Chains A and B, each alone.
Chain A
Amino acid sequence: EDKVVQSPLSLVVHEGDTVTLNCSYEVTNFRSLLWYKQEKKAPTFLFMLTSSGIEKKSGRLSSILDKKELFSILNITATQTGDSAVYLCAVKWYSGGSNYKLTFGKGTLLTVNP
């Protein structure tokens, strides 16, 4: 059975701290790994990673994929209260024909206290 496991499930930090969120996976026909940020409602897209060892960066957020060890990390530096959210990891896999599906982890709840 395909699995996507995120850790930790929850994390409380102070503003200015750096955090690392983890995502490991066991998925057949892997194509890419995606990170989303979910505040109150819709998940919003952060990164899509397809190649090992190439860091993707957006402001204080960065992410990298290791396709040999089957994991990804999401780093947030100099955290702010606005970073408080659930961070979701999803793996895109080929399901046949022209179809691709996402399997999600349970998410990491990040709370940043002032």
Chain B
Amino acid sequence: SQTIHQWPATLVQPVGSPLSLECTVEGTSNPNLYWYRQAAGRGLQLLFYSVGIGQISSEVPQNLSASRPQDRQFILSSKKLLLSDSGFYLCAWSPSGTGEYYEQYFGPGTRLTVT
């Protein structure tokens, strides 16, 4: 069966510090991968998605970047965090090529607080 991992689970970082959040998926190959942010009182906002290694699409202009160095690894980064980057970051995956018929499966999330 497939599982999705995220770490760290929680993170407190000062403004201006760098960020690296990691997401890995097990039990499947060539998944579609997604990064979402959930701010307080708001729905999930899609930040990035990837359909393959090195293929990243950005949904909103922002202070963050994403990379996919391996098939089942998705990394969210920032060089300098802003207060507005605080939130709950969720990674998700869906099977490739059949996205219309499958839901997205979410990881446990990382709660980031920028101080």
Which of A4, A102, A106, A107 has a CB less than 8 Å from the CB of B104?
A102
Interface residues in B, total, Cβ within 8 A: 22
Instruction: Let me know if A101 and B43 touch, CB within 8 A.
Output: no
Asked if A104 and B44 make an inter-chain contact with CB atoms under 8 angstroms apart, the answer reads yes
Residues of B within 8 A of A43 (CB): 44, 90, 106
Question: Which residue from B43, B45, B99, B108 sits with its C-beta under 8 Å from A42?
Answer: B108
| B44 partner, pick from A45, A88, A98, A99, beta carbons under 8 A | A88
A45 to B93, CA, bound (A): 13
CB pair B109–A99 under 8 Å, yes or no, is: no
Which residue from A4, A45, A98 sits with its C-beta under 8 Å from B103?
A45
The number of inter-chain residue pairs (CB within 8 angstroms) is 50
Q: B107: which A residues are within 8 A, CB to CB?
A: 42
Cβ of B46 and Cβ of A101 under 8 Å apart?
yes
**Which of chain A's residues have a CB closer than 8 A to the CB of B51?**
98-99
Q: How far is B41's CA from A45's CA once the two chains are assembled, in angstroms?
A: 20
CB contact list, B71-111 vs A, under 8 A: 90, 94, 96-97, 99-100, 103-109
| Residues on B facing A (Cβ under 8 Å) | 32, 41-46, 49, 51, 90, 94, 96-97, 99-100, 103-109
A102-B44, A106-B41 known; 6 other A-B pairs, CB under 8 Å? A48-B103, A88-B43, A94-B100, A99-B49, A100-B99, A104-B45
